[in-house]
């Protein structure tokens, strides 16, 4: 069969799908990856075939423009945004007010438009010609569900985080039904419905949720959902990389990796820790008998005033090449660092502010005994002294290594990408309408 992966142009979201794409290709299926032109070299660098669609404008520029307009509207009509727009994992009944949910979906839909709208036209045109049997779309890349609806292909949504978005959608629809008919706004449904109508189709909730979901998260952390799902084991892929010389031998001291993802490089608003907070962290751990590896873009490295002797600073290192030798990992909540740490049974300290599922994933990490979560908006908790305190606990208390080992065993028990290919073949045959 023909399988098309669709993702908005963001490297880590694409990389999460590479092992599955290769499993399908090595099983004999034709595989293509559609995304914005700025991701073409990343896609071809994985050995997969790219289909560039949409404008050349960087996705961050589109997002900044969209979000600036939305924040202005919120300021005018609602007051301060607070955490109104960021915590998609909210599950407390008292917080799920119509005012909050209505603004949340206005914001989310504006974000989805910025990520997807420019891709849709060319993507549908390509699908009408290539006729994919199955479209697998990243959970932020609704251009995939629009194209699948337009051409009658089966389609699966592939979230990289805990699937809190489907639960939030369920809350939204329930609370929406409680409103007067004239007030039942649905920004997401209207946007997707307008695209469906353009291609002679009608909106259904499958355009928001997928006909089924492919989930890489551990079963014990899965958020309950009515959408059929296919569990698959996470396999690390961080792009073309080489193992550096210093990572080819066991460290003489406990090795700690501190990494804060591509947002540290591309999006200042999304940084988990400021330069001042990073400096505080380095100062506080300077006397620990460890080897610290800190990934940081070169221009940010220059802003640090003091770097401990035990610290190695690098711009990039493939996570799967260094985490197996680590005794602990400090990160911003990004899924690659989270799941690669689990894959190798390494305790982790997660400092997160902008990751949409952090309100669920952080507590579940803590409950599993595999690490510690610090909400990055709690200034006292992100001080250098507190980070040091948590890191020492991770290094000294064997219970964290045991908890991480249990999660590793669970991950290894999940079916590999190659083992789910047959199930995807059957689902594609059952779901496509063409």
Written as six digits, the tokens of 239 are 């792009």
* 127 Cβ contact list (under 8 Å, min separation 6): 4, 135, 147, 148, 150, 151, 153
Q: Can you tell me whether residue 416 is helix, strand or coil?
A: coil
Which pLDDT score, from 0 to 100, does residue 80 have? 54
Question: Is-contact 419 27, C-beta < 8 A?
Answer: no
Hey, what are 171's tokens? 């809350």
- Summarised one tens digit per residue, pLDDT across range 374-411 is 886 677 778 999 999 999 999 999 999 999 999 999 99
CA distance 331 to 373: 10
What is the pLDDT averaged over residues 11-19?
A: 95
- Looking at per-residue pLDDT, the higher value among 80 and 304 belongs to 304
For residue 260, what pLDDT band results from cuts at 50, 70 and 90? confident
425 lies in a domain? yes
178 is a domain residue: yes
Higher pLDDT, 71 or 311: 311
314 belongs to a structural domain: yes
Percent of the chain with pLDDT over 70: 92
Provide the pLDDT for residue 90: 86
Kindly state whether residues 221 and 258 are assigned to the same domain. Answer: no
Structural domain that includes position 143: 2-233+414-431
Average pLDDT, integer, range 97-113? 92
Q: How confident is the model at residue 36 (pLDDT cuts 50, 70, 90)?
A: very high
Residue 359 confidence (pLDDT) above 90: no
pLDDT of residue 358: 86
Position 291 scores a pLDDT of 97
Q: Say if residue 256 is in the same domain as residue 216.
A: no
Residue 239, in any domain of the structure: no
Residues 6+ apart with CB under 8 A from 3: 21, 24, 29, 30, 31, 32, 132, 133, 134, 135, 136, 424, 428
- Give the CATH number, domain containing residue 66: 3.40.50.2000
Question: Strand, coil or helix: what is 123?
Answer: helix
The total number of residues written for the chain in this structure: 434
Q: Residue 318 falls within a domain, yes or no?
A: yes
- Say if residue 136 is in the same domain as residue 23: yes
Question: Do residues 225 and 280 both lie within one domain?
Answer: no
Of 344 and 274, which is predicted with more confidence?
A: 344
- Give the span between the Cα atoms of 295 and 168, in whole angstroms: 34
Residue 9, classed as helix, strand or coil, is: coil
Distance from CA of residue 360 to its chain's centroid?
14
Residues 408 and 418 in one domain: no
214 and 69 housed in the same domain: yes
Report strand pairing: 311-314 vs 291-295.
parallel
Q: Are residues 273 and 173 in the same domain?
A: no
Residues 185 and 52 in one domain: yes
**DSSP conformational letter for 419:** H
Task: Return the pLDDT at 264.
Answer: 43
| Torsions phi, psi for 76 (to 5 deg) | -75, -40
pLDDT band at 122 (very low <50, low <70, confident <90, very high): very high
- Nearest CA among 219, 101, 224 for reference residue 166: 224
Q: How confident is the model at residue 182, as a pLDDT?
A: 93
Kindly indicate the confidence band of residue 68, based on its pLDDT and cuts at 50, 70 and 90: confident
Task: Quote the pLDDT of residue 206.
Answer: 97
* Average pLDDT estimate for 352-365: 85
Backbone angles phi, psi at 80, to 5 degrees: -70, 145
Residues 208 and 264 in one domain: no
202, 224: one domain: yes
240 in any annotated domain: no
Q: Give the chain's mean pLDDT.
A: 92
Residues 178 and 53 in one domain: yes
User: Taking 80 as the threshold, does the pLDDT of residue 74 lie above it?
Assistant: no
Q: What is the DSSP string of 151-203?
A: HT-EEEEE-SS--HHHHHHHHHHHHHHTS-GGG---HHHHHHHHHHHHTT---
Number of domains, the chain: 2
Within a domain: residue 84?
yes
Separation CA 425–CA 427 (nearest Å):
6
Q: What is the pLDDT of residue 170?
A: 95
Q: What is the CA radius of gyration of the chain?
A: 22
**403 found inside a domain:** yes
Using a pLDDT cut of 90, give the percent of the chain over it: 79
Q: Are 214 and 137 in contact (CB under 8 A)?
A: no
Whether the Cβ atoms of residue 217 and residue 411 lie closer than 8 Å to each other: no
326 with 340, same domain: the answer is yes
Gap between the Cα atoms of 88 and 168, Å rounded: 7
**Angle at CA of residue 76, ends 70 and 78, nearest 5°:** 85
User: What is the mean predicted confidence (pLDDT) over 230-239?
Assistant: 94
């Amino acid at each position: 069969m023909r399988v098309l992966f669709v993702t908005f142009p963001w490297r880590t979201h694409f990389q999460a799908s590479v092992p599955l794409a290769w499993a399908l290709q090595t099983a004999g299926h034709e595989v293509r990856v559609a995304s914005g032109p700025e991701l073409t070299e990343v896609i071809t660098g994985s050995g997969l075939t790219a289909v560039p669609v949409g404008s050349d404008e960087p996705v961050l520029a589109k997002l900044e423009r969209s979000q600036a307009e939305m924040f202005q509207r919120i300021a005018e009509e609602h007051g301060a945004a607070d955490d109104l727009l960021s915590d998609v994992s909210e599950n407390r009944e008292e917080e799920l007010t119509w005012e909050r949910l209505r603004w949340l979906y206005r914001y989310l839909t504006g974000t989805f438009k910025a990520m997807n709208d420019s891709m849709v036209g060319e993507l549908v045109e390509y699908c009408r010609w290539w006729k994919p049997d199955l479209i697998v779309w990243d959970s932020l890349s609704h251009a995939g569900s629009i194209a699948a609806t337009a051409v009658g292909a089966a389609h699966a949504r592939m979230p990289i985080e805990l699937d809190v978005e489907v639960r939030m959608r369920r809350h939204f629809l329930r609370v929406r039904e409680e409103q007067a008919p004239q007030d039942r706004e649905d920004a997401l449904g209207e946007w997707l419905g307008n695209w469906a109508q353009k291609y002679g189709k009608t909106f259904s909730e499958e355009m928001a949720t997928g006909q089924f979901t492919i989930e890489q998260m551990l079963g014990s952390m899965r958020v309950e959902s009515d959408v059929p799902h296919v569990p698959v084991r996470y396999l690390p892929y961080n792009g073309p990389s080489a193992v550096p010389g210093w990572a080819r031998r066991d460290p003489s001291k406990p090795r700690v990796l501190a990494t804060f993802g591509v947002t540290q490089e591309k999006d200042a608003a999304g940084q988990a820790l400021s330069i001042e907070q990073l400096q505080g962290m380095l100062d506080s751990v300077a006397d620990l008998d460890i080897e610290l590896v800190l990934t940081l873009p070169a221009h940010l490295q220059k802003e640090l005033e003091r770097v401990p002797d035990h610290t190695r600073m690098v711009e990039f290192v493939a996570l799967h090449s260094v985490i197996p030798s680590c005794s602990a990992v400090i990160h911003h909540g990004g899924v690659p660092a989270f799941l690669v740490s689990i894959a190798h049974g390494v305790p982790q300290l997660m400092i997160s502010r902008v990751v949409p599922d952090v309100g669920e994933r952080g507590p579940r990490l803590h409950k599993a005994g595999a690490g510690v979560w610090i909400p990055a908006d709690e200034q006292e908790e992100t001080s250098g002294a507190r980070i040091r305190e948590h890191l020492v606990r991770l290094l000294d208390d064997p219970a964290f290594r045991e908890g991480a080992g249990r999660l590793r065993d669970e991950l290894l028990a999940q079916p590999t990408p190659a083992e789910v290919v047959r199930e995807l073949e059957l689902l594609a045959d059952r779901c496509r309408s063409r």
